[in-house]
Amino acid sequence: MIQIETLSIGPIETNCYIVRDANRRAFVVDPGCEYQPILDAVRGLEVTDILLTHAHWDHIGGVAALKEATGARVWAHEAEAQWLLDPRLNLSSEVPFLPQPVVAPAADVLLKGGERFELLGQAIEARFTPGHSPGHLSYVMGDVVFGGDALFASSIGRTDLPGGDYPTLIRSIREQLLTLPPETAVLPGHGPSTTVERERRTNPFLALG
Protein backbone atom coordinates (compact mmCIF):
# COMPACT_ATOMS: atom_id res chain seq x y z
CA MET A 1 0.00 0.00 0.00
CA ILE A 2 1.36 3.38 -1.02
CA GLN A 3 0.80 6.55 0.99
CA ILE A 4 1.53 10.08 -0.17
CA GLU A 5 2.15 12.82 2.38
CA THR A 6 2.18 16.47 1.30
CA LEU A 7 4.37 19.06 3.01
CA SER A 8 3.89 22.69 2.05
CA ILE A 9 7.24 24.25 2.71
CA GLY A 10 8.97 27.59 2.81
CA PRO A 11 8.21 31.19 1.92
CA ILE A 12 6.35 30.40 -1.32
CA GLU A 13 4.75 27.18 -0.06
CA THR A 14 6.33 24.64 -2.35
CA ASN A 15 4.72 21.21 -2.16
CA CYS A 16 7.07 18.40 -1.21
CA TYR A 17 5.63 14.89 -1.58
CA ILE A 18 6.77 11.95 0.50
CA VAL A 19 5.73 8.64 -1.05
CA ARG A 20 6.08 5.62 1.21
CA ASP A 21 5.16 1.96 1.28
CA ALA A 22 4.16 -0.40 4.09
CA ASN A 23 7.81 -1.39 4.63
CA ARG A 24 8.76 2.20 5.51
CA ARG A 25 10.66 2.67 2.29
CA ALA A 26 10.11 6.03 0.62
CA PHE A 27 10.99 8.45 -2.12
CA VAL A 28 10.60 12.21 -2.07
CA VAL A 29 9.44 14.51 -4.87
CA ASP A 30 10.81 18.08 -4.79
CA PRO A 31 12.31 18.57 -1.32
CA GLY A 32 11.75 22.33 -1.16
CA CYS A 33 13.63 25.13 0.40
CA GLU A 34 13.62 24.31 4.10
CA TYR A 35 15.07 20.93 4.90
CA GLN A 36 14.18 20.51 8.57
CA PRO A 37 10.45 19.77 8.12
CA ILE A 38 11.39 17.19 5.48
CA LEU A 39 13.97 15.50 7.69
CA ASP A 40 11.40 15.40 10.50
CA ALA A 41 8.80 13.87 8.18
CA VAL A 42 11.08 11.11 6.88
CA ARG A 43 12.43 10.09 10.27
CA GLY A 44 12.19 6.31 10.52
CA LEU A 45 11.81 5.90 6.74
CA GLU A 46 14.38 4.54 4.33
CA VAL A 47 14.49 7.20 1.62
CA THR A 48 15.99 5.70 -1.52
CA ASP A 49 15.31 8.35 -4.15
CA ILE A 50 14.68 12.06 -4.69
CA LEU A 51 12.74 12.93 -7.86
CA LEU A 52 12.96 16.52 -9.08
CA THR A 53 10.35 18.01 -11.40
CA HIS A 54 12.73 20.89 -12.07
CA ALA A 55 15.64 22.66 -10.44
CA HIS A 56 14.32 26.03 -9.31
CA TRP A 57 15.59 26.88 -5.82
CA ASP A 58 12.24 26.36 -4.12
CA HIS A 59 12.12 22.73 -5.31
CA ILE A 60 15.72 21.72 -4.55
CA GLY A 61 16.62 23.61 -1.38
CA GLY A 62 16.34 20.49 0.76
CA VAL A 63 18.18 18.14 -1.58
CA ALA A 64 21.64 18.52 -0.03
CA ALA A 65 20.48 17.87 3.53
CA LEU A 66 18.14 15.04 2.53
CA LYS A 67 20.80 13.30 0.45
CA GLU A 68 23.34 13.70 3.21
CA ALA A 69 20.94 12.22 5.75
CA THR A 70 19.72 9.32 3.60
CA GLY A 71 22.12 8.70 0.72
CA ALA A 72 19.16 8.81 -1.67
CA ARG A 73 19.74 8.99 -5.42
CA VAL A 74 18.82 12.32 -7.05
CA TRP A 75 16.92 12.25 -10.35
CA ALA A 76 16.74 15.33 -12.59
CA HIS A 77 16.43 16.34 -16.22
CA GLU A 78 19.76 16.67 -18.01
CA ALA A 79 18.92 20.20 -19.23
CA GLU A 80 18.94 21.42 -15.62
CA ALA A 81 21.87 19.37 -14.32
CA GLN A 82 23.95 22.50 -13.86
CA TRP A 83 21.11 24.32 -12.09
CA LEU A 84 21.58 22.08 -9.07
CA LEU A 85 25.12 23.33 -8.67
CA ASP A 86 24.74 27.00 -9.61
CA PRO A 87 22.70 29.49 -7.50
CA ARG A 88 22.45 31.86 -10.47
CA LEU A 89 20.78 29.18 -12.58
CA ASN A 90 18.47 27.87 -9.85
CA LEU A 91 17.68 31.54 -9.13
CA SER A 92 18.40 31.32 -5.40
CA SER A 93 21.04 34.04 -5.79
CA GLU A 94 18.20 36.44 -6.71
CA VAL A 95 16.02 35.73 -3.69
CA PRO A 96 16.70 38.34 -1.01
CA PHE A 97 15.10 36.54 1.93
CA LEU A 98 17.09 33.29 1.69
CA PRO A 99 19.75 32.83 4.40
CA GLN A 100 22.15 31.51 1.78
CA PRO A 101 22.14 30.57 -1.91
CA VAL A 102 20.99 27.05 -2.75
CA VAL A 103 23.56 24.53 -3.93
CA ALA A 104 22.58 20.88 -4.33
CA PRO A 105 24.70 17.83 -5.05
CA ALA A 106 24.96 16.69 -8.67
CA ALA A 107 22.18 14.42 -9.89
CA ASP A 108 22.83 10.68 -9.82
CA VAL A 109 20.36 9.91 -12.61
CA LEU A 110 19.84 12.27 -15.54
CA LEU A 111 16.60 11.99 -17.50
CA LYS A 112 15.34 13.28 -20.84
CA GLY A 113 11.68 12.38 -20.39
CA GLY A 114 10.02 9.24 -21.70
CA GLU A 115 11.78 6.94 -19.25
CA ARG A 116 9.86 4.27 -17.34
CA PHE A 117 11.19 2.89 -14.10
CA GLU A 118 10.01 1.39 -10.84
CA LEU A 119 10.21 2.76 -7.29
CA LEU A 120 8.60 1.06 -4.29
CA GLY A 121 7.25 -1.50 -6.73
CA GLN A 122 5.31 1.22 -8.55
CA ALA A 123 5.68 1.86 -12.27
CA ILE A 124 6.68 5.47 -12.85
CA GLU A 125 6.91 7.34 -16.14
CA ALA A 126 8.88 10.57 -16.55
CA ARG A 127 7.17 12.92 -19.01
CA PHE A 128 9.00 15.92 -20.50
CA THR A 129 6.86 19.00 -19.77
CA PRO A 130 8.99 22.10 -20.53
CA GLY A 131 7.70 25.67 -20.67
CA HIS A 132 7.93 26.76 -17.04
CA SER A 133 11.57 25.70 -17.18
CA PRO A 134 13.50 24.04 -20.03
CA GLY A 135 14.07 20.72 -18.26
CA HIS A 136 10.76 20.29 -16.49
CA LEU A 137 9.50 16.75 -15.86
CA SER A 138 6.20 15.36 -14.62
CA TYR A 139 6.15 11.93 -13.01
CA VAL A 140 3.16 9.66 -13.59
CA MET A 141 2.57 6.93 -10.99
CA GLY A 142 -0.66 4.99 -11.48
CA ASP A 143 -3.57 7.41 -11.17
CA VAL A 144 -1.38 10.24 -9.86
CA VAL A 145 0.90 12.72 -11.61
CA PHE A 146 3.46 14.85 -9.80
CA GLY A 147 3.15 17.88 -12.02
CA GLY A 148 5.65 20.35 -10.57
CA ASP A 149 5.12 23.90 -11.81
CA ALA A 150 3.52 22.99 -15.14
CA LEU A 151 -0.17 22.68 -14.25
CA PHE A 152 -1.88 24.04 -11.12
CA ALA A 153 -5.49 24.01 -9.97
CA SER A 154 -7.09 26.69 -12.20
CA SER A 155 -3.69 28.03 -13.21
CA ILE A 156 -0.41 27.19 -14.92
CA GLY A 157 3.25 27.80 -14.20
CA ARG A 158 4.82 31.16 -14.89
CA THR A 159 6.79 31.45 -18.12
CA ASP A 160 8.70 34.69 -17.54
CA LEU A 161 11.72 33.09 -15.85
CA PRO A 162 14.87 32.19 -17.82
CA GLY A 163 14.18 29.31 -20.19
CA GLY A 164 10.41 29.68 -19.83
CA ASP A 165 8.13 29.79 -22.86
CA TYR A 166 4.35 30.15 -22.86
CA PRO A 167 3.44 28.26 -26.07
CA THR A 168 5.79 25.47 -25.04
CA LEU A 169 4.11 25.18 -21.65
CA ILE A 170 0.61 25.08 -23.14
CA ARG A 171 1.72 22.38 -25.58
CA SER A 172 3.33 20.36 -22.76
CA ILE A 173 0.15 20.49 -20.71
CA ARG A 174 -2.10 19.58 -23.62
CA GLU A 175 0.06 16.77 -24.99
CA GLN A 176 1.62 15.29 -21.84
CA LEU A 177 -0.84 15.97 -19.00
CA LEU A 178 -4.36 16.42 -20.38
CA THR A 179 -3.92 13.16 -22.31
CA LEU A 180 -3.76 11.23 -19.03
CA PRO A 181 -6.97 9.48 -17.88
CA PRO A 182 -9.47 12.12 -16.66
CA GLU A 183 -9.56 10.81 -13.09
CA THR A 184 -5.78 11.21 -12.73
CA ALA A 185 -4.94 13.27 -9.63
CA VAL A 186 -2.59 16.17 -10.34
CA LEU A 187 -0.29 16.88 -7.39
CA PRO A 188 1.28 20.23 -8.25
CA GLY A 189 4.35 22.09 -7.04
CA HIS A 190 2.22 24.76 -5.36
CA GLY A 191 -1.36 24.90 -4.12
CA PRO A 192 -4.09 22.27 -3.84
CA SER A 193 -4.30 19.06 -5.83
CA THR A 194 -6.71 18.77 -8.73
CA THR A 195 -7.60 16.30 -11.48
CA VAL A 196 -6.94 16.14 -15.20
CA GLU A 197 -10.68 16.23 -15.84
CA ARG A 198 -11.26 19.34 -13.72
CA GLU A 199 -8.45 21.27 -15.38
CA ARG A 200 -9.47 20.15 -18.85
CA ARG A 201 -12.96 21.54 -18.23
CA THR A 202 -12.34 24.64 -16.10
CA ASN A 203 -8.73 25.87 -16.30
CA PRO A 204 -8.96 29.39 -17.80
CA PHE A 205 -5.52 29.10 -19.42
CA LEU A 206 -6.54 25.98 -21.31
CA ALA A 207 -10.11 26.82 -22.29
CA LEU A 208 -9.19 29.29 -25.00
CA GLY A 209 -6.05 28.17 -26.82
Which residues sit at the interface with Zn ion, rule CB under 5 A? 56, 58, 149, 189
d(C-alpha 202, C-alpha 178), whole Å: 12
| Minimum distance, C-beta of residue 186 to Zn ion, in the bound complex (Å) | 15
Query: Which residue lies nearer to Zn ion by CB, 32 or 184?
Result: 32
Give the separation between CA 78 and CA 175, rounded to whole angstroms. 21
Nearest approach in angstroms of CB 209 to Zn ion is 21
What are the start-end ranges of the E strands in the chain? 3-9, 14-20, 25-29, 46-51, 73-77, 109-111, 116-119, 122-128, 137-141, 144-148, 151-152, 155-156, 185-188, 194-195
Nearest CB to Zn ion, comparing residues 27 and 83: 83
Q: Contact, 28 vs 7, CB < 8 A?
A: no
Burial 17-31 (b: 16+ CB within 10 A, else e): bbbbbeeebbbbbbb
Work out how close the CB of 190 gets to Zn ion at its nearest, in angstroms, rounded to a whole number: 6
Tell me the residue nearest to Zn ion as measured from the CB.
56
Cβ-based nearer residue to Zn ion, 120 or 153: 153
CA 148 to chain centre: 4
By beta-carbon proximity to Zn ion, the closer residue of 117 and 205 is: 205
Cβ of residue 156: shortest distance to Zn ion, in angstroms? 12
Q: Give the residue with the Cβ less far from Zn ion, 20 or 54.
A: 54
What minimum distance in Å lies between the beta carbon of 32 and Zn ion? 8
Kindly state the smallest distance separating residue 121's Cβ from Zn ion, in Å.
Answer: 29
Give 155's strand partners.
152
SS3 (DSSP) at 24: coil
Between 58 and 80, name the residue whose CB sits nearer to Zn ion: 58
d(CA 76, CA 36): 22
